[in-house]
Amino acid sequence: MNFLNSLISGLSLGSVYAIIALGYTMVYGISKMLNFAHGDVIMVGGYVSFIMTMYVGMNGWLALLVAMVVCTLLGIIIERLAYRPLRGTGSLAVLITAIGVSYFLQNAALLIWGANPRVFTSLFDGVGTIHAAGGQLTITPESLFTILANIVIMIVLTLFVNRTKAGKAMRAVSEDNGAAQLMGINVNQSISLTFAIGSGLAAVAGVLMCSAYPVLMPTTGAMPGIKAFTAAVFGGIGSIPGAMIGGLILGIIEIFSRAYISTELSDAIVFACLIIVLLVKPTGLLGKKVSEKV
């Protein structure tokens, strides 16, 4: 039973990582940049949803929708103001800007919402936990919904990228930016769309994460952001199924090492696994091998 309990926790935590990792991996895929501010967009999503439920009195699901809209806009604005002017100046300038944006968001949150931690009310407040096998097996509604949401998001996103015109345009830009432009694809629009989708998903991840682990602080997004980034690299950065697999595996490794090996070493084990995977397969589990032009 302990095994099943841990498996469910691991899948649920891994699903949160996977949804966040999508934002990293899609942005990397299309613009070859690491958006380190992504983790902090999660935190903004959490706070917006918190404010909407606690002070405006909205229903949790409506608040989630508002948080998604705010984060989507935030993602587009960040891309427009901070990253677009630097496009073509090399990856270092953009990387440093991304770290700057991350600090900006954290400190803005500190200024607006203060340093005192808040406790987030779960989306499923009042929904009972499922107890099975004589109370041995517990499944919280949060973990069940997180796992389901992850699966739905993955299916919808895969269909979107493969079947729709906008999705095809995104893939084309990812493949070859210049050629895509010559074919009449609006590159700026495609990149904006990617940021919008990634940031909207970050809001979902933020609300789901805070529902399960309810503490909300200006630095709430930092650690999950790093773990999800690890998951994206683990699965092969740039690959959507890779983000899902990487996230799930990371979550399961983390919970199982806590349950069976040591709670003190769980983070070390997670990152050791990453190093081993990268040593054996430098592009990650599902990453494409790209030969670099010299």
Partner 1 sequence: MKKNWTKFLVVALSVMMVFAMTACGGGSGDSGSSEGGDNALHLGGVGPLTGPAALYGNAVNNGAQLAVDEINAANPDGVQLVWDMQDDEHDAEKSVNAYNKLVDDGMQVLVGTVTTAPCTAVAAEAFEDRMFVLTPSASGPAVTEGNDNVFQLCFSDPNQGIASADYIKANYADKTVGVIYNNADNYSTGIYDKFKSEYEADGKKLAAVEAFSDDANADFTAQLNSMKNAGVDLIFLPIYYTPASNIMTQANKMGYAPTYFGVDGMDGILDLEGFDTSLAEGVLLLTPFTPYSDDAKVQDFVKAYEDKFGETPIQFAADAYDCVYAVYDAFGKTGLGTDASSADICEAMIKVFTGGDFTASGLTAETMKWNAEGEVDKTPKVCVIQDGKYVEQ
Q: How big is the site for partner 1, counted in residues (CB under 8 A)?
A: 52
What does the alpha-carbon distance between residue 192 and residue 201 come to, in Å, rounded to a whole number? Answer: 14
In whole angstroms, the minimum distance from the beta carbon of 163 to partner 1 comes to 29
Choices 78-86, 162-170, 179-187, 286-294 (CB under 8 A): range interacting with partner 1: 286-294
From residue 222 to residue 261, what is the string marking binding to partner 1 with x (rule CB under 8 A)?
Answer: -xx-----------------------------xx--xx--
What does the alpha-carbon distance between residue 245 and residue 277 come to, in Å, rounded to a whole number? Answer: 13
Q: How many CA atoms lie within 13 A of 135 on its CB side?
A: 0
Q: Is 51 in the site for partner 1 (CB under 8 A)?
A: no
Residue 124: count other Cβ atoms within 10 Å of its Cβ: 16
Binding residue for partner 1 (CB under 8 A) from 264, 275, 280, 293?
Answer: 264
Q: Tell me whether residue 148 or residue 268 sits nearer to partner 1 (CB atom).
A: 268
* Alpha-carbon distances of 263 from 209, 257, 273, rounded to whole Å: 20, 7, 16
What does the alpha-carbon distance between residue 156 and residue 210 come to, in Å, rounded to a whole number? Answer: 23
End-to-end Cα spacing for the chain = 55
Using N-to-C axis directions, what is the helix angle for 38-54 and 187-212, rounded to 10°?
A: 60
- List of residues 6+ apart from 158 with CB closer than 8 A: 240, 241
Choices 77-85, 149-157, 242-250, 282-290 (CB under 8 A): range interacting with partner 1: 282-290
Q: Tell me whether residue 145 or residue 185 sits nearer to partner 1 (CB atom).
A: 145
From residue 184 to residue 223, what is the string marking binding to partner 1 with x (rule CB under 8 A)?
Answer: -------------------------xx-xxxxxx--x--x
In whole angstroms, the minimum distance from the beta carbon of 208 to partner 1 comes to 12
What does the alpha-carbon distance between residue 198 and residue 96 come to, in Å, rounded to a whole number? Answer: 20
What does the alpha-carbon distance between residue 289 and residue 205 come to, in Å, rounded to a whole number? Answer: 29
* Number of residues in the chain: 294
CB-based contact 64:47 (threshold 8 Å): no
Q: Tell me whether residue 13 or residue 201 sits nearer to partner 1 (CB atom).
A: 13
Phi, psi of 33 (to 5 degrees): -130, 150
Q: Tell me whether residue 166 or residue 222 sits nearer to partner 1 (CB atom).
A: 222
In whole angstroms, the minimum distance from the beta carbon of 145 to partner 1 comes to 13
* Closest alpha carbon to 63 in 49, 46, 77, 82: 49
Q: Which of residues 63-122 bind partner 1 (CB under 8 A)?
A: 91-92, 95-96, 99, 103, 115-121
Q: Which of residues 117-176 bind partner 1 (CB under 8 A)?
A: 117-121, 129, 131, 135, 138, 140, 142
Where do contacts with partner 1 occur on this chain (CB under 8 A)? Answer: 2, 5-6, 9, 13, 34, 36, 50, 54, 91-92, 95-96, 99, 103, 115-121, 129, 131, 135, 138, 140, 142, 209-210, 212-217, 220, 223-224, 254-255, 258-259, 262-264, 267, 282-283, 289-290, 292
